[in-house]
Amino acid sequence: MNSRSLILAAAFLGAAFPTMSADKPGYTDTPVITGQKWKVHDADRPQPRVVAPGSTFSHGATAPADAVVLFDGKDLSKWTKGGAPAPWKVEGGYMEVIGKTGDIQTKDKFGSFQLHLEYATPNPPVGDSQGRCNSGVFLHGLYEIQVLDCYNNPTYADGTVGCIYGQWPPLVNGAKPPGQWHSYDIIFEAPKVDGGKVVEPAYVTVILNGVVTQHRKPILGPVRHRDVAAYEPNTPTSGPIGLQDHGDPVRFRNIWVRPLGEYDK
């Protein structure tokens, strides 16, 4: 089990009795996020404003000529699970999470990049809050951009679709109804490291269905559930792109990446 899995396992299983708010999603007993007034997954943090996305960004963005196509709807040859073949299902031009088989990652590593992908959640929906078709996009395998059915489904603000999980809520909630395809366009700037210490954090811009949800936000560190994110010594400046298995049948398609080496200079 990798370090992120250990953190999440401890958070979900070892924190035996987390204090959930009785009347709204979120927690009341977590630490305050560095540089903010809000706690991690704060039940009192305001919900992102809902914005109905337009149709222009719905789906079908063709990969640019210099892009690396990570999934073209045919196979998972660019993906792996711990060095083994990626175990998710491929059919109908999309891949689908097979629950409890584990996260998958790209075989290649990237520094700074532009990423495009599309995803869909089941209709009718099942569950609520974080239990409604949960997944995530992991940048360098460490920093999570949330995937979740947040259409008429409130959850804690820093766990809403389009968030940097546990750190920054989305500026707005641009979710479409379940069953429809969503598009993510993500511009990620890798952290800068000197002597094993992070001297400049990673930054990310996130566009969900054509609506900006993060505008060059500093990432505070690797994802943590119910705990404050912080960079560790020798943080990598490149890494894989990962997709999360949270036990829900999320579908993904049309995934491509453009390395942006100029940000790494």
Model confidence over 18-44: pLDDT tens digits? Answer: 566 657 899 999 999 999 999 999 999
All residues at 6 or more sequence positions from 34 whose CB lies less than 8 Å from its CB, including other chains: 220, 228, 229, 230
- Domain limits, the chain: 3-264
Q: Are 162 and 146 in contact (CB under 8 A)?
A: yes
pLDDT at position 9 is: 41
pLDDT at position 51 is: 95
- The residue type of 32 is V
170-190 mean pLDDT? 96
Identify the CA nearest to 119 among candidates 183, 212, 73: 183
What is the spatial distance between Cα 83 and Cα 96, in angstroms, rounded to a whole number?
A: 19
Q: First and final CA of the chain: distance in angstroms?
A: 33
What is the spatial distance between Cα 70 and Cα 106, in angstroms, rounded to a whole number?
A: 8
- The residue type of 128 is D
What is the spatial distance between Cα 213 and Cα 208, in angstroms, rounded to a whole number?
A: 7
Beta 84-85 vs 211-218: how paired, if at all? unpaired
Record: fold of 3-264: Jelly Rolls (2.60.120)
Model confidence at 194: pLDDT above 60: yes
What is the spatial distance between Cα 62 and Cα 77, in angstroms, rounded to a whole number?
A: 20
In this prediction the pTM is 0.89
More confident residue, 54 or 55: 54
pLDDT at position 4 is: 45
Give the helix/strand (H/E) hosting 257.
Answer: strand 251-259
Identify the CA nearest to 106 among candidates 82, 78, 139: 78
pLDDT at position 20 is: 64
